[in-house]
């Protein structure tokens, strides 16, 4: 037979099987719905006809039996009850298994005779299934997977475009700067015009990219419904097998999330829903005795929350008992007695997420395999989401998941730490603050700070990552820190600098660096260089028992230095300025850095420096021009300027003096002593 | 069927004849087997490996350090949107590591799902080296390094070491997996 016809049949069958399943579940709740029964009849009838036409006799026979069965229901000859619906669902399952086998070219997994016999007697048809398929066959998502590759590459290219746009924006602002400084130049009007036009073009480019990005992202999105539908059946079967009555409600399943996220949501949903049925919802008699309705309710709610999706799974069952959880955790050796006593009830709930924990007293068939909520925790961390647990004993349990909409592009805070850029996903950032020495206190020898009335451990991000800490470079009596949050925990990480937030494209580190602790990938910043993206859950794990050391002292010392004199170092070479800075800082001066004469002019406008050290050859204004400009300023007329340059001719020295510099140091003869002596002789 | 298994002189002769002609044709095409290699400087000496492994040579870009990894992974860089790690294999070969100068280059190597950049003190060029001229690496070289060197050759009065680049890339020191 031509595969074309087979494909058409399989597609058609898939639709009918899907609607049979959904409609049957509704029918169980609305047994009097004649229209529904008729729709079901039509599904079964069409399936029967198509299967027969293509010679799939077995499928046709089962569909025929279901049709007869439904006909009797429609005519009132057969009661529309849970047992009947059960049987019809088994029929639907059987057909589903058979079409799956057809699609794979495998033999029929159903023993037709046995099946019909079981179906007619109203018993279980489980024995008629000859082969067990491995796992759930999610053909729908699988077929999409091939195209996801293309989509990924599309999104990747778009990422490149975004980075490129950023570069254009930077260039445009450079040009603006040039216009500002080129006062009196002949072609200034034309240059300004050019800048304006370019700015408009870049703006438009940005607009198009934004739209394109949204479209490409939409292609990767699928509604939650694609996975939640399957769980309706699972919850129903599971609760039935345990003699429980459960209403499973889904709200907001139209919300779309990234395919990759959907994939990782599957195991989470499976565990959470199984838990809700197994451990949450009580038996009907128990519920009645407690004054609750016989049937329990499990509600899955999804909604947008800013740039993320919030999903809640709430059951009105027995709730989680923090005392029992603590005891179980103690017994399993997850915590020790001391820890148990100190632990708040809300914290105790999270013990269930730890490895080796399972609250179930009786090992049940499905969720009692030694894996449990720790799977959920791992999955949520993998997708950079957050999980919150809430419960009241005897009333409810609520699991809240917060997920990013997509994993390809995220909002991040860019920070500098140990002179290196790092990106931190914004979903983990509470705030950034400045810390002074007096803000730091110690708890059992560990440095802590107080943030919004709670005590937070203070750590040095550089130290934690194993990078060189540069305490000597702290200046001005304060340091920057970013407060990271995860669930109800927080930690303050000391950084060099906070460079603001940015939309970043997440890239993998490639096959060579498969998994690097504390990171989950990299991004490319506007300057074209990579920056690592920090894995915050990883940082929380490592930060346990770690705190910054002597940070209070270091900050305090920088404060004292500030009184010795403040120096502005201007140099376009990172090596020179870093060297000069460390020499001066080590000797008690408070040093600020400028990377160009223009940068220096901006900095002198906002702060009063006691001394300026400048290079000569720099892009833009040179050191001589900078000196002359400083001399022209009221506040800087008398401030000493030292020129440090590789130019050694007398001509250059003369130029420096003419511009108003006090000293000239040749880089070749550059020695720590020379610089310090000169600085000391000028400002003491 | 029985015939095929018995002694069939005609088909054996035919096979021998074909082998003979094939051998003749081959020896005509390449009188000596040449290995096209990219040569570069490491620790002041010349090293080489087959050009087919090298995908491109670039200047050393800004390398961003990766915290918590072995020292020979110097950092990552951006090659047209792809993040690639740059490795300094000199420590692996146990040879001196002079400071890199402006002449330093990275040779980018692409393998299945694995792209990496080998940092060199400079790339000399591409030469065809006669395979038979290679001699086994001298025993005075440490065993750990000998593992990655297939042999040495005296080429135009200079010694060149042929690296076993495939083996080198497979060495666990080159990858990171903190799982």
Q: Is residue A61 domain-shared with residue A119, that is, in the same domain? A: yes
Q: Is A165 found in the same domain as A111?
A: no
The percentage of residues in chain A with a pLDDT greater than 90, rounded to a whole number, is 16
Closest Cβ–Cβ partner in B81, B113, B179 for A524: B81
Whether residue A557 is contained in a domain is answered as: no
Count residue pairs from A and B with Cβ separation < 8 A. 88
Any idea what the CATH number is for the domain that residue A640 is in? 3.40.50.2300
Residues A525 and A415 in one domain: yes
CATH of the domain at B66: 2.40.50.180
Distance CA A580, CA A640 (A): 16
Same-domain status, A232 and A368: yes
Is A201 a domain residue?
yes
Residue A585 and residue A510 share a domain: no
Tell whether B75 is covered by a domain.
Answer: yes
Please give the full DSSP string across A330-378, using - where no structure is assigned. HHTTSS-HHHHHH--HHHHHGGGGSTT----SSPPTTT-SS--HHHHHH
Q: What is the pTM of this model?
A: 0.52
Looking at the fold, whether A417 and A444 belong to one and the same domain comes out as yes
CATH number at residue A527: 2.40.50.180
Q: Are residues A72 and A161 in the same domain?
A: no
A546 CB within 8 Å of a chain B CB: no
- Kindly list the residues from chain B whose CB atom is less than 8 angstroms away from the CB atom of residue A515: 176-179
Could you give the number of structural domains in chain A? 5
pLDDT at A358: 61
Tell whether B126 is covered by a domain.
yes
From the candidates A512, A522, A534, which should be mutated to test the interface with B, based on the most B CB atoms within 10 A? A512
Domain count, chain B: 1
- Please answer whether residues A462 and A470 qualify as being in contact, where contact means their C-beta atoms are separated by less than 8 angstroms: yes
Which of the four pLDDT bands, split at 50, 70 and 90, describes residue B155? Answer: confident
Tell me the Cα Rg of chain B.
Answer: 22
C-alpha triplet B141, B142, B146: angle, nearest 5°:
75
The values of phi and psi at residue A367, to 5°, are -100, 5
The reply to whether A99 and A145 lie within a common domain is no
Q: Do A515 and B179 touch (CB under 8 A)?
A: yes
List the single residue in B61, B67, B175 with the smallest CB-CB distance to A514.
B175
pLDDT, one tens digit per residue, over A287-331 is 999 999 999 999 999 987 766 788 999 999 888 888 888 888 888
Residue A559 domain-assigned (yes or no)? no
Contacts of B32 (CB under 8 A, 6+ apart): B130, B131, B132
Report the 10 Å Cβ neighbour count for A335.
Answer: 18
Looking only at the bridges linking them, the beta strands covering A641-645 and A611-614 are parallel
Residue B4 has pLDDT above 90, yes or no: no
Query: Can you give the CATH number for the domain in which A34 is found?
Result: 1.20.120.160
How high is the pLDDT of residue A569? 93
Note down the domain range covering B50. 34-174
CA distance A530 to chain B (A): 6
Question: Is residue A334 domain-shared with residue A229, that is, in the same domain?
Answer: yes
Coil/strand/helix, residue A533 = strand
The per-residue pLDDT for range A102-114, each reduced to its tens digit, is 888 788 888 888 8
What pLDDT score does A306 carry? 66
B3 within some domain:
no
Domain assignment present for residue B16? The answer is no
B76:A532 CB<8 A:
yes
Instruction: Please tell me the distance from the alpha carbon of residue B153 to that of residue B134, in angstroms, as a whole number.
Output: 5
| A558 assigned to some structural domain | no
- Output the pLDDT for position A488: 78
Q: Which pLDDT score, from 0 to 100, does residue A77 have?
A: 87
Which residue numbers in chain A have pLDDT < 50? Answer: 133-146, 359-371
Asked if residue B90 belongs to a domain, the reply is yes
Which value, to the nearest 10 degrees, does the dihedral of the CA atoms of residues A264, A265, A270, A273 take? 160
Structural domain contains residue A67 = yes
A369, A283 Cβ separation under 8 angstroms: no
Instruction: Work out the mean pLDDT of chain B and round it to a whole number.
Output: 85
- Alpha-carbon distance of A136 to A482, in angstroms, equals 43
Domain boundary among A137, A157, A180: A137
Model pLDDT, residue A336: 84
Contact at 8 Å (CB) between A357 and A351? yes
- B109 contacts in chain A (CB < 8 Å): none
Choose one of A109, A137, A165: the last residue of a domain.
A137
Residues of A in contact with B115 (CB under 8 A): 510-512
The boundaries of the domain holding residue A192 are 141-222
What's residue A658's pLDDT? 87
Is the CB of A516 inside 8 Å of chain B's CB atoms?
Answer: yes
* Pair A414, A528 in one domain: yes
Mean pLDDT of B101-115: 88
Judged by CB atoms closer than 8 Å, whether chains meet at A508 and B175 is answered as no
R_g over Cα of chain A? 34
SS3 A476: coil
d(CA A584, CA A567): 8
Strand-pair partners of A422? A415, A532
Instruction: Give the one of A465, A512, A518 whose C-beta lies nearest to B175's C-beta.
Output: A512
Q: Quick check: A513 and B77 CB within 8 A?
A: no
Pair (A240, A283) in one structural domain: yes
Last residue of a domain, one of A222, A240, A261: A222
Q: Give the H or E element holding residue A184.
A: none
Closest CB to A513 among B62, B66, B78: B66
């Amino acid at each position: 037979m031509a595969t074309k016809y087979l494909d058409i049949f399989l597609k058609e069958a898939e639709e009918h099987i899907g609607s049979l399943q959904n409609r049957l579940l509704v029918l169980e709740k609305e047994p009097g719905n004649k229209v529904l029964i008729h729709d079901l009849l039509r599904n079964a009838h069409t399936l029967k006809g198509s299967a027969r036409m293509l010679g799939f006799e077995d499928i046709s026979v089962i569909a025929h039996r279901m049709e007869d069965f439904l006909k009797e229901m429609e005519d009132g000859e057969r009661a529309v009850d849970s047992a009947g619906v059960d049987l019809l669902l088994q029929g639907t399952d059987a057909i589903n298994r058979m079409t799956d086998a057809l699609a794979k070219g495998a033999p029929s997994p159903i023993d037709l005779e046995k099946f019909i016999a079981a179906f007619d007697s109203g018993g279980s048809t489980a024995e008629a299934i000859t082969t067990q398929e491995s796992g759930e066959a999610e053909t729908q998502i699988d077929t999409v997977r091939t195209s996801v590759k293309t989509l990924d590459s599309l999104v990747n290219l778009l990422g490149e475009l975004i980075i490129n746009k950023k570069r254009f924006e930077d260039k445009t602002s450079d040009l603006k700067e040039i216009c500002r400084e080129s006062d009196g130049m002949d072609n200034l009007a034309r240059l300004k015009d050019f800048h304006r036009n370019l700015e408009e073009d870049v703006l438009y480019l940005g607009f198009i990219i934004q739209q394109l990005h949204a479209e490409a992202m939409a292609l990767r999105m699928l509604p939650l419904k694609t996975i939640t539908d399957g769980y309706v059946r699972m919850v129903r079967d599971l609760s039935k097998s345990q003699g429980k009555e459960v209403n499973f409600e889904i709200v907001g399943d139209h919300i779309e999330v990234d395919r990759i996220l959907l994939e990782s949501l599957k195991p989470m949903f499976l565990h959470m829903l199984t838990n809700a049925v197994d451990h949450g919802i009580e038996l009907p008699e128990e519920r009645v005795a407690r004054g609750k309705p016989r049937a329990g309710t499990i509600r899955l709610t999804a909604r947008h929350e800013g740039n993320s999706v919030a999903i809640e799974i709430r059951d009105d069952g027995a709730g989680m008992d923090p005392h029992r959880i603590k005891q179980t955790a103690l017994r399993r050796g997850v915590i020790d007695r001391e820890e148990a006593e100190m632990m708040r009830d809300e914290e105790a709930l999270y013990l269930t997420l730890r490895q080796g924990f399972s609250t179930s007293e009786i090992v049940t068939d499905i969720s009692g395999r030694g894996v449990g909520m720790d799977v959920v925790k791992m999955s949520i961390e993998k997708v950079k989401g957050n999980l919150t647990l809430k419960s009241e004993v005897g009333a409810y349990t609520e699991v809240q998941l917060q997920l990013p909409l997509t994993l390809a592009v995220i909002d991040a805070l860019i920070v500098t730490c140990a002179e290196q850029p790092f990106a931190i996903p914004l979903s983990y950032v509470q705030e950034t603050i400045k810390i002074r020495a007096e803000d730091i206190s110690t708890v059992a020898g560990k440095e802590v700070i107080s943030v919004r009335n709670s005590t937070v451990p203070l750590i040095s991000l550089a130290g934690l990552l194993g990078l060189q800490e540069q305490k000597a470079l702290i200046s001005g009596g304060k340091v920057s820190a970013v407060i990271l949050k995860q669930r109800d925990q927080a930690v303050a990480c000391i950084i060099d600098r906070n460079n603001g937030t940015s939309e970043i494209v997440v890239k993998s580190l490639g096959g060579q660096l498969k998994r690097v602790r504390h990171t989950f990938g990299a991004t490319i910043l506007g300057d074209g260089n990579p920056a690592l993206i920090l894995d915050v859950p990883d940082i929380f794990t490592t930060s346990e028992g770690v705190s910054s050391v002597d940070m209070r002292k270091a900050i305090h010392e920088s404060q004292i230095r500030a009184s010795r004199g403040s120096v502005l170092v201007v140099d376009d070479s990172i090596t020179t300025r870093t060297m000069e800075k460390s020499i001066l800082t080590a000797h008690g001066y408070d040093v600020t850095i400028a990377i160009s004469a223009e940068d220096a002019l901006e900095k002198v406008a906002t702060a009063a420096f006691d001394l300026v050290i400048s290079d000569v050859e720099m892009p833009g204004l040179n050191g001589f021009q900078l000196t002359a400009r400083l001399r022209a300023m009221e506040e800087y007329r008398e401030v000493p300027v030292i020129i440090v340059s590789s130019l050694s001719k007398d001509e250059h020295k003369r130029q420096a003096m003419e511009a108003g510099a006090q000293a000239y140091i040749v880089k070749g003869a550059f020695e720590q002593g020379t610089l310090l002596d000169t600085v000391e002789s000028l400002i003491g | 069927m029985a015939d095929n298994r018995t002694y069939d002189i005609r088909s054996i002769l035919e096979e021998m004849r074909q082998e003979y002609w094939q051998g003749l044709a081959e020896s005509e095409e390449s009188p000596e087997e040449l290995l096209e290699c990219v040569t570069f400087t490491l620790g002041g000496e010349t090293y080489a490996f087959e050009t087919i492994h090298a995908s491109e040579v670039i200047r050393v870009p800004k390398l961003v350090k990766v915290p918590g990894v072995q020292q020979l992974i110097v950092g990552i860089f951006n090659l047209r949107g792809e993040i690639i790690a740059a490795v300094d294999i000199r420590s692996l070969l146990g040879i001196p590591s002079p400071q890199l100068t402006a002449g330093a280059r990275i040779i980018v190597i692409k393998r299945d799902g694995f792209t990496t950049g080998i940092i060199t003190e400079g790339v000399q060029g591409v030469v065809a080296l006669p395979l038979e001229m290679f001699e086994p690496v001298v025993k005075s070289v440490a065993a750990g390094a000998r593992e990655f060197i297939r042999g040495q050759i005296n080429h135009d009065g200079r010694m060149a070491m042929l690296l076993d680049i495939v083996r080198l890339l497979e060495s666990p020191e080159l990858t990171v997996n903190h799982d």
